[in-house]
């Protein structure tokens, strides 16, 4: 039983919790939520989408897309328009406000990456990413083999600082 492995797992969740909270607060200042911001992000990459497409890209139900677009449309981030050929479908397009927000967020994402990782040696960063990739592979492998219930209590200390042991 390696204690450093447990510490590493705790660290990942501490990081996720802190970054997630930070991001959420920054979004809230703009009147956005994570889920809605992601819609803007996706629409900024592949302009104008039908809701069905969005539900596939976002990996959520079509029903939830309806709700997200309802909210985004109400606040003027996107507009709904009829599909030119398919009268069942609805096209979702970013407004100017939505486009500006998406571009700003994309820029700030890269800026944040520089702030957080920018002053680290390239080798350290490469090592970090290599370990992360290793773990990502392990997750995929252990979840697909049908052996056991998986890491049920993996991340109890969701609020940074937890018990590092």
Partner DNA sequence: CACACATAGTGAACCATATACACAATTACT
Partner DNA sequence: AGTAATTGTGTATATGGTTCACTATGTGTG
Q: Which 87-116 residues touch DNA, going by CB under 7 A?
A: 87-90
Residue 50 interacts with which of DNA, a second copy, none, CB < 5 to 8 Å by class: DNA
Beta bridge partners of 79: 93
Smallest gap from Cβ 137 to DNA, in A, equals 24
Give the count of beta carbons closer than 10 Å to the beta carbon of residue 67.
13
Contact between 67 and a second copy (CB under 8 A)?
A: no
Of 45, 108, 38, 102, nearest in space to 71 by CA? 38
Beta strands, E only, 9-89: 49-50, 78-82
Q: Which residue has the tokens 């979840």?
A: 143
Contact between 52 and DNA (CB under 7 A)?
A: yes
Tokens representing 99?
Answer: 């486009």
> Applying CB under 7 A, what is the total number of residues that bind DNA?
29
Smallest gap from Cβ 109 to a second copy, in A, equals 4
Please give the order of strands across the beta sheet that includes 49-50. 49-50, 90-94, 78-82
Q: Considering beta carbons, is residue 34 or 82 the nearer one to a second copy?
A: 34
Site string for a second copy, 89-128 (x = CB under 8 A): -------------x-xxxxxxxxxxxxxxx-x-x-xxxxx
């Amino acid at each position: 039983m390696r204690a450093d492995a447990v510490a590493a797992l705790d660290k990942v969740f501490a990081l996720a919790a802190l970054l997630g909270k930070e991001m959420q607060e920054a979004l809230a200042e703009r009147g956005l939520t994570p889920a809605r911001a992601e819609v803007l992000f996706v629409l900024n990459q592949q302009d104008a989408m039908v809701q069905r497409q969005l539900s596939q890209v976002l990996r959520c139900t079509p029903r939830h897309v309806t709700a997200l677009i309802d909210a985004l449309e109400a606040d003027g981030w996107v507009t709904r328009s009829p599909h030119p050929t398919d009268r069942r479908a609805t096209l979702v397009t970013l407004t100017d406000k939505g486009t500006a927000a998406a571009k700003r967020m994309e820029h700030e994402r890269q800026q944040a990456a520089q702030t957080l990782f920018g002053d680290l040696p390239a080798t350290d960063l490469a090592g970090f990413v290599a370990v992360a990739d290793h773990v990502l592979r392990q997750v995929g492998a252990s979840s697909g083999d049908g052996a056991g219930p998986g890491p049920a209590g993996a991340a109890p200390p969701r609020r940074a600082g937890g018990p590092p042991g």
